[in-house]
Copies of this chain bind each other. A is one copy, B any other.
Amino acid sequence: MYSYKEKYGEYLSRIEARLKKFYEELDCKPDVLDESLKYSLKSGGKRIRPVLMYAAADLLGFDDEALDDYALALELIHTYSLIHDDLPEMDNDDFRRGKPANHKVFGAGNAVLAGDGLLNTAYYILLSHCNDGKHCVDAAKFMCDCAGVKGMIAGQAADIYCAANAVKDGDMLDFIVKNKTGRLLSAAVATPAILSGGRYFVELRQFGEDLGMLFQLTDDVLDERGREDTLGKTTGKDREENKLTYVTFYGVEQCLVYADVLSSKCLGLLEGVGGDTRFLRDIVSFVRYRES
């Protein structure tokens, strides 16, 4: 009997188990580096990227132990980006997932290094699979491209550029969200497609980008509406800092309309994909209607 909650729990357990192994094997000096690397990873969160990767792999009937390493690498890349984004010179967030941000615990210098270390380690893991076959190299390159200077990093650079220069522009906003959030979700669902030979790659890549937009929309709405204790990070901050977000640009009501449009688009894309798409459809609803 299919249950979204149980399935999510199953995927979550799988990535938590892989992370646990990672913590056990990681043994860096100095201690502060070891601790700061683990601190932000252990802070948890929804692990939505690994979960999406497992779900896409299940959908495609791709079952390979190596997938755990791709999921881990993706979570490391995501976590590095959070650590660097939270830095005082970037988004200047003191809290992340209800706990003090990495730089508040270890200092900004160590936080920069923790981010660097997670990014570098992600590529070590991906490189470790590059002799597994041609698809593995393509998968690693795709993930690298999504995370890179024409992907996530470009999105963050555009984000701080707009904040610093008070830019209010819809195209720029779409560029930021597509790259900063969409590309890594795209990596989550499209990487299994590459690993299994390319089937439904186009659909899943687009699904990931659109889900990323939807995720950011609801995040912006939650930021506007939410209370600190629910979301676990400083809220209402975007507006205070006059940041370019969907809510500050379009307002909450229009955002919710846009969210419905994107939800439909995501579900439409899944119609073009064979197999059991129930979990991915449910995750679209989850992202659309989440409260935290």
Q: Are B89 and A153 in contact (CB under 8 A)?
A: no
User: Which chain A residues in 114-173 approach chain B with CB under 8 Å?
Assistant: 115-117, 119-121, 123-124, 126-128, 130-131, 134, 137, 140-141, 144-145, 147-150, 153-154, 156-158, 160-161, 164
Q: Which residues of B contact A126 (CB under 8 A)?
A: 127
CB-CB nearest in chain B for A158: B30
* Residue of B with least CB distance to A112: B84
Residues of the B chain whose Cβ atoms lie less than 8 Å from the Cβ of A119: 116, 119-120
**Interface segment out of the listed A102-110, A185-193, A246-254, A269-277:** A102-110
Can you name the residue of chain B whose Cβ is closest to the Cβ of A162?
B30
Given contacts A115-B116, A157-B33, contact A150 B87 (CB under 8 A): no
B121 touches A161 (CB 8 A): no
Q: Name A149's contact: one of B87, B88, B121 (CB within 8 Å).
A: B121
Distance from A160 Cβ to chain B, minimum over Cβ atoms (Å): 5
Of all A-B residue pairs in the complex, the 5 with the closest CB atoms, nearest first, are: A89-B108, A33-B157, A89-B109, A117-B149, A130-B130
In the complex, A160→B127 CA distance in Å? 29
Grouping DSSP codes into helix (H, G, I), strand (E, B) and loop, the A interface class, with mixed when no group exceeds half, is helix
Interface band, chain A: 35 or more
Query: Within 8 Å of chain B (Cβ to Cβ): is A90?
Result: yes
CB-CB under 8 A from A26, the residues of chain B are 149
Say yes or no: A137 contacts B127, CB within 8 Å: yes
A113 / chain B contacts, CB cutoff of 8 Å: 84, 153, 156-157, 160
Q: How far is the CA of A33 from the CA of B29 in the complex (A)?
A: 32
Chain A contacts to B: CB under 8 angstroms: 26, 28-30, 32-33, 37, 80, 84, 87-90, 107-113, 115-117, 119-121, 123-124, 126-128, 130-131, 134, 137, 140-141, 144-145, 147-150, 153-154, 156-158, 160-161, 164, 175
**Can you name the residue of chain B whose Cβ is closest to the Cβ of A77?**
B120
Asked if B117 and A89 make an inter-chain contact with CB atoms under 8 angstroms apart, the answer reads no
Does A160 lie within 8 Å of B120, measured CB to CB?
A: no
Contacts of A29 in B (CB 8 A): 150, 154, 158, 175
In the complex, A157 Cα to B164 Cα: how many Å? 30
